[in-house]
């Protein structure tokens, strides 16, 4: 399992390096979208726990 994980990690890293060199604007857009999804998900989890704890 560890070898498979390393191979997948290297493929993802290679893809991002390739994407950055071939099209930096699109690569930046992809990373901004990924960051936006992560932030939105984290905020949704916080709102869930906030509403759960503040229920009357």
Name the residue ranges covered by the structural domains of the chain: 2-53
Which phi and psi (to 5°) does residue 23 adopt? Answer: -150, 85
pLDDT digits (tens, 9 = 90+) for 12-48: 999 888 988 999 898 889 889 999 999 999 999 999 9
Residue 35 corresponds to which tokens in the numbers above? 């960051």
Q: pLDDT-derived band of residue 56, with 50, 70 and 90 as boundaries?
A: low
Q: What is the DSSP track for 17-52?
A: HHHHHH-HHHHHHHHHHHHHHHHHHHHHHHHHHHHH
């Amino acid at each position: 399992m560890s070898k498979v994980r390393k191979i997948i990690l290297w493929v993802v890293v290679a893809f991002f390096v390739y994407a950055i060199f071939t099209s930096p604007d699109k690569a930046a857009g992809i990373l901004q979208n990924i960051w936006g999804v992560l932030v939105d998900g984290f905020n949704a989890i916080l709102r869930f726990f906030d509403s759960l704890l503040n229920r009357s």
